[in-house]
Structure 1
Amino acid sequence: MKKILIIDHFSQPPNEPGNNRFIYLAKLLCEKNYEIEIVTTDFSHKNKKTRDKYIPGIEKLSYKYTMLPEPGYTKNVCIKRFYSHYIFGKNLAKYLTTITKPDLVYIAIPSLDVGRIARKYCKKNGIPFFVDIQDLWPEAFKLVLNIRIISDVIFFPLIIAENRIFEAADEIIAVSDTYLKRGLKNNLKNNGLVVYLGTDLKEFDNTYNNSHVIKKDDEIWLVYVGTLGHSYNIKIVIDAISKLVLSGFNNIKFKVLGDGPLLEEFKNYSKLKKVDVDFLGRKDYKEMITYLANADIAVNPISKGAAQSIINKHSDYAASGLPVVSTQENYEYRNLIDNYTCGFNCNVEDTAQVAEAIKKLVLDENLRNKMKIGSRKMAEELFDRNSSNARIINLIESYLETE
């Protein structure tokens, strides 16, 4: 039986809320009789604490799930985080010397420390090396630490490390065309593969269709799902709702599902603006679907200069058939919204435009319904893991069958 090693630094363990691509891939590959091991950290990036390594029922999983030590950190961008990742990389390197050599290594980027260690390991042992780009580092950090010249100097070593990882990859998979193009700048060996993160629509629909009603008939719900950090401008949505409330729109409720370093700042801002925002925290995936099933409009308030392209919330919004009000600058998602007629693209810092888009959707139920059709169509064509992840499986098998 051939073995595939999946290394995902920011994995979501099977007992934590989420919709992790690599766990889904592991299950699919096990069904095809491959031996699968997922290697990750024992530190939860989301909760900023060390996990309990014993997961109830872990022995019954079809794949092996291994957590390696990492010291941890308290902030998303800090020196301690870089040190923590470095130590995790050292522990990963040690662990790789103790296992039977796999037939293929499939890694998630970030982190770059995983990429650095895995690149060297695969080169030394002649193992096919697959890189799945989930985010761009250090590009994403520059939004938080964007000091001209100084930032370029600080992040230059990380750019070099990123380039080397992409150059060494036998295959590059990416969650968006934007990220794939970045990877292929340093890799001329293959054409790469874009596979959006997506969701299992069959499972999603089962939960969605059985969701109970938790919204009052006279309310219009705006919903945001995701991290509450520097990349997401929740304040522009609050400002937009504040404008609408002053115009007499008193039935708009803003539901925010997620957590992050700016949670308290956003809470205080909503109180300052006297806007009804319900900060619900991070929810189990099925409970999140229930909120999406009750919502009328989704918001995608990406901050100016953010590196995000196609992300998890896009597929969840589409699967729910929600019209989207977006401030994202990235051309790829803007084109999807236009092509599927499923929402409004607003200028990145234009509160008035965001307010006008929300107003149009609140007032026009027919428009909401039309955009819902386009949104769901996008999910079925682009975000269904049942079909999209088969392309990754086929690519993996094309390497293993020739050995």
Structure 2
Amino acid sequence: MKIWILQTGEPLHIDKNNPRPMRAMNLSNKLVEAGHSVVLWSSDFSHQGKFHRFNKYTTHNINKNLQIRLIPSPGYKSHIGIARLWDHIILGWRLHKLLKQEKNENKPDICFIGYPPIECAYVMGMFAKKADIPYMLDVKDLWPSMLVDALPKFLQPLGRVIFYPLFYMAKKVILNATGISSMAPSFSKWVLNFANKKPTKYDRVFRLTSSPQKLNQEQLEKADLWWSDKNVTNKKPLIMFVGSFMSVFDFKPIARVAKELKHECNFVLAGDGDYLQGIKKMMAGLDNVVFPDRIDYAKIINLSKISIATIAPYKTIESFNMSVPNKIVDSLSFGLPILTPLKGEMANLIKKYNVGFNYNDSKSLKQHILTLINNPQIQKNQATNSKNLYNKDFEFNQVYDSFVSHLEKIAK
């Protein structure tokens, strides 16, 4: 099978420093492993690093069955703003020009299209439709609705007029899709309602998940010594967070609880990001809060082994409430209870499988942490439930083997 994957905004095989694989890399690797030929179309501009990889059209042959094609675009400095929208327009236009030059013998048996950006998804979707090639649309964000929702209420009607082209393209590419894939049932439901599209037998939910890295004993022992040198141990109950400090998180309830429970438990908040310094200031003077900055996988695994829970302090934004974000999946893979304010999809999982607690404010967060500290059996049960849920619904090989099998069926 010959497959094209369109996915911008994710790490690629050619990126330095071993980036954590996401949908595109994971699926490409699994398809190649199954003997299929993959062309991965992406942006030359790195969404994560905010830099141009080569600043020109380039083609990279990773192996005999995997090729990456990069398209240059203007780039942008912020996740939100006119510059990002302009970047997507240029990227879509340049993709359109490239596809017009493709010879018939190079065309794929199926396309897997990441959405957003809408412009690129629309261009690839219309190309596939015209060439009678089936395509699966992988929806990861609530664009363009979330662009309008971000505006003040009185500007939202105007926003719908301004963004009308995006609404048109979005509905068109969804309606023409052979199948819709998403990370959670709520996302799938939103997509179908948004475009007024009926479900098809090819629609599927494929959870976000990552392949666990293999670690040797030496790496684990070094990581253990590293934490010991920082005086991070399990002598006192420990709550962990690992991730990028971004605007999508709310650390204020954690700061209040850390102050009130300074003798009862410690917090390790690991990572980097634009908001790190501000959060450090928020936690100033709290000896029970440790900021080790960005840490590698061995240190993350060791930290999880001495923690009683993870905390995922997402703001209750609609797109997060409708999904199961990476931080949640990581916690399940560690076999740890989850503390999060998320509603919707995540709240349902917590209630159904007893894998943690939902908190609404600092008061309820404090109460849930004390429950885990004072009732070891509850913590142990939730930890076991988390690992069982991960193995049932989120285990990497299970998810991506099913992904490959599904694409094979569509391509037949």
Q: CA deviation at 1:90?
A: 1.7
Report the counterpart of residue 343 of structure 1 in structure 2. 356
Q: Does 1:194 align with 2:177?
A: no
Does the aligned pair in 2 maintain the 1:225–1:258 contact within 8 Å?
no
Q: Which among 127, 131, 141 is matched to residue 121 of structure 1?
A: 127
Q: Does 1:135 align with 2:141?
A: yes
Does the aligned pair in 2 maintain the 1:208–1:290 contact within 8 Å?
no
> What is the rounded CA distance, in whole Å, between the counterparts of 1:399 and 1:17 in structure 2?
30
Report the counterpart of residue 38 of structure 2 in structure 1. 36
Instruction: Kindly tell me the number of residue pairs found equivalent between the two proteins.
Output: 388
- For structure 1, the 5+ residue unaligned runs are none
> What is the rounded CA distance, in whole Å, between the counterparts of 2:277 and 2:240 in structure 1?
18
Going from structure 1 to structure 2, the CA distance change for 1:295 and 1:265 (only over 3 Å counts) comes to: same
Q: Which amino acid aligns with 2:276?
A: L
Does the aligned pair in 1 maintain the 2:62–2:68 contact within 8 Å?
no
Q: CA deviation at 1:353?
A: 0.5
Report the counterpart of residue 117 of structure 2 in structure 1. 111
Q: CA deviation at 1:217?
A: 3.6
Report the counterpart of residue 12 of structure 2 in structure 1. 13
> What is the rounded CA distance, in whole Å, between the counterparts of 2:266 and 2:363 in structure 1?
16
Q: Does 1:233 align with 2:250?
A: yes
Going from structure 1 to structure 2, the CA distance change for 1:389 and 1:265 (only over 3 Å counts) comes to: same
Percent sequence identity is 22
> What is the rounded CA distance, in whole Å, between the counterparts of 1:37 and 1:287 in structure 2?
34
Q: CA deviation at 1:207?
A: 7.0
Q: Which amino acid aligns with 2:220?
A: S
> What is the rounded CA distance, in whole Å, between the counterparts of 1:180 and 1:262 in structure 2?
32
- For structure 2, the 5+ residue unaligned runs are none
> What is the rounded CA distance, in whole Å, between the counterparts of 2:409 and 2:83 in structure 1?
41
Does the aligned pair in 1 maintain the 2:39–2:69 contact within 8 Å?
yes
Q: CA deviation at 1:379?
A: 0.4
Q: Does 1:224 align with 2:235?
A: no
Report the counterpart of residue 108 of structure 2 in structure 1. 102
Q: CA deviation at 1:391?
A: 2.4
Q: TM-score, normalised by structure 2?
A: 0.85
Q: Which among 275, 286, 303 is matched to residue 262 of structure 1?
A: 275
Q: CA deviation at 1:234?
A: 2.1
> What is the rounded CA distance, in whole Å, between the counterparts of 1:129 and 1:217 in structure 2?
50
Going from structure 1 to structure 2, the CA distance change for 1:109 and 1:333 (only over 3 Å counts) comes to: same
> What is the rounded CA distance, in whole Å, between the counterparts of 2:146 and 2:295 in structure 1?
25
> What is the rounded CA distance, in whole Å, between the counterparts of 1:85 and 1:123 in structure 2?
21
Report the counterpart of residue 327 of structure 2 in structure 1. 313
State the SS of the aligned residue for 2:220.
coil
State the SS of the aligned residue for 2:40.
strand
Q: Which amino acid aligns with 2:362?
A: T
Report the counterpart of residue 368 of structure 2 in structure 1. 357
